[in-house]
Chain A
Amino acid sequence: MAKAEFQLEPLTCPTCVKKIESTLTRAKGVDSVKVLFNSSKVKAEFDDTQTNAEKLKLTIENLGYTVSGSKTS
């Protein structure tokens, strides 16, 4: 199980949170997702045999949010 943390552009609408959360949760290999609205961060836990941080980053970007930094552990 791996963890990733993405820093996004400032999130302004609570619906964004829902959008990112549900999309990532449904992505393959993702275990849990937490979107921090106020610090504009996404924390995800995933199975690193099925997916990776780069793929998750792409998913977020395809939803229309700029990812300015990421951290994996």
Chain B
Amino acid sequence: MIRLINKYKNQITAISGILIVLGFLLSVAEYESYKDLALITATLIAIIPIAIRAFQALRMKAFSIELLVTIAVVGALYLHEYTESSVVTFLFLFGAYLEARTLEKTRSSLKALVDMAPQEADVIREGENLTIPVEEVVKGDRVIIRSGGKVSVDGRIVSGKGILNEAAITGESVPASKAIDDKVYSGTIVDNGYLEIIAEKVGDDTTFARIIELVEEAQESKSKTQKFLDNFATYYTPAIVVLSIIVYALTRNLHLAITFLVVACPGALVIGAPVSNVAGIGNGARNGVLVKGGEVMDRLSKVDTIVFDKTGTLTKGKPEVTDIKTFSNLEAVELLRMVAKAETISEHHLGQTIVKEANKRNLSIEGELLNGEVIKGNGIRAQVDGHDLAIGNRKLMDAENIQVSDEVSAYALKREKAGNTAIFAAVDGQVAGIFSIADQIREDAPRALAELRKNGIKKMVMLTGDNKHTAELVANVLGLDEFQAELLPENKVSFVKKLKDEGHVVAMAGDGINDAPAIATADIGLAMGEGGTDVSMETADVVLMADKLMQFSHAYALAKATVRNMKQNTFIAVAIVFILLAGVLLGYVHLASGMFIHEASILIVILNAMRLIRFNSKNGSSETELG
């Protein structure tokens, strides 16, 4: 029975609404007695679901708003105020319906993510192609994804290649191209191509499933304001009952006491703060920023100092060949081909960077190598295509008795001052060229940092284990306030501690693994996720899924907007309660109009929070839209 009533709650609301309209039409047609009948019926129908919920809550020893409404309506019926009783019950049900609809909208940002979850997967088992529900895929399965298909598990590509839309994981709308040995994630979509992957993580263990779970939990975790309001509501509701009894005792006016009871319901107050948080966190998740809860949102909005790790955070963390300068009649490409061929024997990361560059340019570096030798700490020597090659630093050139002209020497120094490592390449005893290798600053770093500063960051510091020379260069290019070079992880921790002791609210951004201690020490720990490594997702308060610094500046602006939104909602809610109470006591607000204002205030705070879903820091709408 109860279930049936709940199922048809919307129909009940509609019938009661129709009956009220009918009642007024009858009244216009001067059938007064029928009008009362219609309104009483409307009240009785609509009060059923409300009273049931009130009773259920009471059994749990919880005071609910439904209880207040039920008492008020019974009182109104007793006073023969049928118009008021029917309008109040109808408005309450209709308001609840609208709330559910609008709340669903604020929560929809997460729902959009959940809906991206794949349902089916094509696998090859024992040579047979099968389409199975995604829950049945197990670790080690060979999964096929065709153009337009969704990746259903986390895995590694073993065959094929494709362009993947990874927005579900990273919030990044620019598709990424993936080939053999690359990792792919559940929830991403193959825009174009064909992949065969081996499943590594399935079901609830996939990065995608964990993101959803983290976001759900984040939306649930309460901020301080929210906890305060929750506590407030627990005492507030019974207090209102007591107060209205006092009002009745003093004035002997039952009508006034009942009105007081209804309008004092704490609707907007309870829903206002959480709804802002949910919308804010949902917006972050869609843009590839995981903010772990309302508390984090609150702290993030107060940050005034940011500490960056250099390698992998401000820079790409992947050294690249930035320049090849030749000093002989050899073409740069030909020199690269020969040097890269020699460097295939090297395990040094600089050597491998050169090999990677040659691969990127599709140069053929296969073939026989003669007399290859690694000279530790200095470079390598080898014979390529009949030429003697020596590749390495200045010391190697000296050791090999290769003349380094002033011109070459000056050029190398210039490149080093520009933040590069200069590598000498000698062919047959002559310096043929210089390779410059550098870990480049992220393209979006200058813009992101400028935006962070504009949004209220006062101090930006860079910490790095790298040498002073390189550190100074990066700090100057980005206009940082301070930098500390040649640090160990524990130095980073004590530096963050020092800043905190000086009264700064500190956010620390790092790559999540070797910076984990400093990240944990800071007020806000921020990890560059790179597709979400487990460690960074666990330790950090904020995770940037697409590894973009612009996401950081979005998160910061979003946190400020969310906290501002929450304050607006709290203010609206409290102001309306006061206006209503004053209105009731002065006799301006009656039962039906009080209920109307009460329901309207709930809708206002939800609608206000909904603006956060569309919040976009990038086009600068933050000030115009949420200022």
Residues of A within 8 A of B (CB): 9-10, 12-15, 18-19, 22-23, 36-41, 61-66, 73
B-chain residues with CB within 8 Å of residue A36 when the two chains form the complex: 216-217, 219-220
A64–B6 CB distance below 8 A: yes
0/1 per residue, B40-65, Cβ < 8 Å to A?
00000000010011001100101111
A16 to B327, CA, bound (A): 77
Smallest CB separation, B602 vs chain A (Å): 9
Contacts of B250 in A (CB 8 A): none
A18 to B110: give the CA distance in the assembly, Å. 23
* B216 lies within 8 A of A10 (CB): no
Q: Select one of B6, B53, B60, B104 contacting A22, CB under 8 A.
A: B60
B52–A64 CB distance below 8 A: yes
Distance between Cα atoms of A12 and B57 in the complex (Å): 14
Contact of A10 among B57, B65, B104, B233 (CB under 8 A): B104
In the complex, what's the smallest C-beta–C-beta distance from B193 to chain A, in angstroms?
A: 32
Q: Pull 16 A–B residue pairs with CB atoms less than 8 Å apart, ordered by A.
A: A12-B99, A12-B100, A13-B271, A14-B230, A14-B270, A15-B62, A18-B57, A22-B60, A23-B60, A38-B278, A39-B110, A62-B2, A64-B3, A64-B52, A64-B56, A66-B6
Interface positions of B (Cβ within 8 A of A): 2-3, 5-7, 49, 52-53, 56-57, 60, 62-65, 96, 99-100, 103-104, 107, 110, 204, 216-217, 219-220, 230, 233, 270-271, 274, 278
Give bound CA distance, A13 to B351, whole Å.
62
**A53 → B minimal CB distance (Å):** 16
Contact partners of A66 in chain B: CB under 8 A: 6-7
Task: Contact check, A13 vs B230: say whether CB atoms are below 8 A apart.
Answer: no
CB A66 to nearest CB in B, in angstroms, measures 7
Query: B291: shortest Cβ distance to chain A, in Å?
Result: 14
* A62 and B100 contact, CB distance less than 8 A: no
CB contact between B220 and one of A15, A19, A37, A63 (< 8 Å): that residue: A37
CB distance from A67 to the nearest CB of B (A): 10
Q: By the criterion CB–CB under 8 Å, are A38 and B220 in contact?
A: yes
Q: A12-B103, A65-B6 are in contact. Are A19 and B62 (CB under 8 A)?
A: yes
| Inter-chain contact A39/B107, CB cutoff 8 Å | yes
Residue of B whose beta carbon sits closest to that of A41:
B216
User: Contacts A39-B107, A39-B216 given: A61-B3 contact, CB under 8 Å?
Assistant: yes
Lowest 3 A-B CB distances belong to which pairs? A38-B219, A15-B64, A64-B6
State whether B274 touches A37 (Cβ < 8 A): yes
Report the minimum CB–CB distance from B465 to chain A (whole Å). 41
* Distance in Å: Cβ of A25 to nearest Cβ of chain B: 10
Known A18-B62, A19-B57, A37-B220; contact A12-B107, beta-carbon cutoff 8 A: no
Residues of B within 8 A of A10 (CB): 100, 103-104, 107
CA distance A47 to B6 in the complex (A): 29
Q: How far is the CA of A36 from the CA of B104 in the complex (A)?
A: 14
CA distance in complex: A73, B60 (Å): 29
Residue ID in chain B nearest A20 by CB atoms: B60
Residue among B56, B65, B278 having the largest count of chain A Cβ atoms under 10 Å: B56
Q: How far is the CA of A64 from the CA of B230 in the complex (A)?
A: 23
Q: How far is the CB of B595 from chain A (nearest CB, A)?
A: 16
Extra A-B contacts (13), CB below 8 Å, given A12-B100, A38-B107:
A12-B271, A14-B271, A15-B57, A19-B60, A37-B220, A37-B274, A38-B216, A38-B274, A39-B110, A40-B107, A62-B3, A63-B56, A64-B2
Chain A proximity of B544: nearest CB distance (Å): 23
Cβ–Cβ contact B216 & A64, under 8 A: no
Report chain B residues within 8 Å CB of A37.
220, 274
Q: Which residues of B contact A38 (CB under 8 A)?
A: 107, 110, 216, 219-220, 274, 278
Q: How far is the CA of A72 from the CA of B133 in the complex (A)?
A: 16
- Closest residue on chain B to residue A65 by CB atoms: B6
Q: In whole angstroms, what is the CA distance A39 to B106 when docked?
A: 11
Assembly CA distance A15 to B100 (angstroms): 15
Which of chain A's residues has its CB closest to B6's CB? A64
* Nearest-Cβ distance from residue A59 to partner chain B, whole angstroms: 12
